[in-house]
Amino acid sequence: MVGDENNNKSNRQYIVAILFGVIIFLIIIIPTTILLVKNLSEKNNPTHIHYTRVNKNIYREHYELYQLNILSKRNPGQQYKLLGDFLRRSLFNASNYERYLPNCPIMFSLTSIDHPEDWRAMIFGTLKYPSPQLPHPYVCFISVLSEDRQHRLGSVLLNHFINHVMKANKYVYIQLHANYENCRAQRLYHACGFLCNEFKLNGYPEPHDPQYKFGHMIRMELNIQNIKNKTDVCSNPKAIEISQQEKDKYEKLCQTNKPTGLLQPCQNITS
Ligand X SMILES: *[C@@H]1O[C@H](CO)[C@@H](O)[C@H](O)[C@H]1NC(C)=O
Q: How far is the CB of 88 from ligand X (least distance, A)?
A: 6
d(C-alpha 218, C-alpha 181), whole Å: 9
Other CB atoms within 10 A of residue 98 CB: 17
Measured from the CB of residue 248, what is the shortest distance to ligand X in angstroms?
27
The C-alpha atoms of residue 142 and residue 158 are separated, in whole angstroms, by 8
User: What is the DSSP pairing of strand 138-144 with strand 173-179?
Assistant: parallel
Chain center to CA of 185 = 17
Compare residues 88 and 258 and give the one whose CB is closer to ligand X. 88
Return the HEC string of 44-59. HCCCCEEEEECCCCCE
Check if the beta carbon of residue 265 is closer than 8 Å to that of residue 180.
Answer: yes
With CB under 6 A, what is the number of residues at the site for ligand X? 6
Choice between 95 and 126, CB closer to ligand X: 95
173's CB contacts (< 8 A; 6+ apart) are 136, 137, 221, 222, 223, 224
Question: What is the smallest separation between the CB atom of 95 and ligand X, expressed in angstroms?
Answer: 10
Q: Is 89 in the site for ligand X (CB under 6 A)?
A: yes
**Distance separating alpha carbons of residues 48 and 73, to the nearest angstrom:** 9
> 93 vs 257, which CB is nearer to ligand X?
93
Question: Minimum Å distance from CB 238 to ligand X?
Answer: 8
Which CB, 56 or 73, lies closer to ligand X? Answer: 56
CB of 242 to ligand X, least distance (A): 17
The DSSP element (H or E) to which 179 belongs, if any, is strand 173-179
Per-residue x/- track, 212-251, ligand X (CB under 6 A): -----------------x-xx---x---------------
Binders of ligand X among residues 138 to 157 (CB under 6 A) are none
Select 144 or 254, whichever has its Cβ closest to ligand X.
144
Asked if residue 55 binds ligand X (CB under 6 A), the reply is: no
Question: H-helix or E-strand containing 38?
Answer: helix 30-44
Query: Closest CB to ligand X among 32 and 236?
Result: 236
User: Binding ligand X by CB under 6 A: which of 32, 45, 93, 202?
Assistant: 93
What minimum distance in Å lies between the beta carbon of 184 and ligand X? 14
Give the DSSP letter of residue 240. Answer: B
Handedness of CA 224, 182, 133, 86 (dihedral sign): positive
Q: Which residues bind ligand X (CB under 6 A)?
A: 89, 93, 229, 231-232, 236
